[in-house]
Structure 1
């Protein structure tokens, strides 16, 4: 498809189309293949269009990483709105949302993160997104952790995030199925929140 044959899209729609194409490139050929030139070719637009939206390869990868995280956060927020307000169902919903996102995104999430290892901009984004997750987890789990000081709840939520990451990697490596991964993470969340403060 030549750039001239592509219909003009509003800027937000074009950005979404470009991000869809970028994810497809990563899925098919890996992060090394993701360049702004390749993206423009795949999307059927001129290189200046791709550069106008992202500027650099680093910015493109960060935008894609952020988009995946936004979708995961939206899924979690939606699920928590409809869950019974007890620790076990909340823990199960947190675990389910995390594992379902890992399945839907696949190993691309980890590949994108690895592609920018050592990038100050990527590290800043990761810190921001981790802080956002911690806020979600703390808000969701605080009603069941009244005996824990806030700093202890925060530390336990950090541990839960680390466990979620590790379990999701085992799921993606086919060392655990979805049901087992969700149950394991949910059990870890319940144990972490119920354990008395030291």
Structure 2
């Protein structure tokens, strides 16, 4: 394929390449995404793609980071705009999580493609830690649990959210049902509320 004649800044070119990578993964899965297929689909020379990502794992990692940042930003925005009640915060966390799962189904595929490489798995764990911290901070005002206990519950809730998202993407659950299920798990798993009697 001929290379594009449009000169983009390095950052703009990277964004264009990542947009193209998302399209490839959506259409052909992660097995269809290589540096060569990306160069061809984006209409750029191979050295441009290699300059941005170096290797296929580097490309997958960059794509995962980008999708993860978008996912986390959507949840952060939803929590910030939520009414300050446990039910509403739990609901918007679930709604934002599943909206992202529906809008970015390739995130799960890219995550799966990164498994098996110790360095890439470490990055995945760091990203999970970021989600866990985000969720724990949003829920802390509504929980009487110690911070370590709340954080561990959030790890479990994120595991449940991932499984519910898979059900949603398979068409085995509606978005409303998934949000309701996760909201119930969140509110039920927070322990006694600060200042409440049990």
Assess same fold via TM > 0.5: yes
- Residue in 2 aligned with 1:150? 147
Q: Deviations over 1:55-108 (max 9, x none)?
A: 0000100111111110011111111111111100000010001000000012x2
- Residue in 2 aligned with 1:135? 133
- Residue in 1 aligned with 2:191? 194
- Residue in 1 aligned with 2:6? 7
Query: Do residues 69 (structure 1) and 68 (structure 2) align?
Result: yes
Could you say what the CA RMSD is over the residues aligned between the two structures, in angstroms?
1.2
- 1:171: Cα distance to partner? 0.4
SS of the equivalent of 1:194 reads: coil
Q: How many residues align?
A: 193
CA distance in 2: counterparts of 1:103 and 1:195, whole angstroms: 33
Matches of residues 20-59 of structure 1 in structure 2 within 5 Å?
A: 20-59=19-58
Q: Is the 8 A contact 1:21 1:39 kept in 2?
A: yes
Matches of residues 108-187 of structure 1 in structure 2 within 5 Å?
A: 108-145=106-143, 147-187=144-184
**Structure 2 unaligned blocks of 5 or more:** 194-198
- 1:195: Cα distance to partner? 5.7
- 1:121: Cα distance to partner? 2.2
Q: Is the 8 A contact 1:36 1:57 kept in 2?
A: yes
* Normalised TM-score (structure 2): 0.94
Greater Cα offset, 187-196 or 165-174: 187-196
CA distance in 2: counterparts of 1:83 and 1:50, whole angstroms: 40
SS of the equivalent of 1:170 reads: helix
**Structure 1 unaligned blocks of 5 or more:** none
Q: Is the 8 A contact 1:6 1:44 kept in 2?
A: no
CA distance in 2: counterparts of 1:111 and 1:150, whole angstroms: 32
* Normalised TM-score (structure 1): 0.94
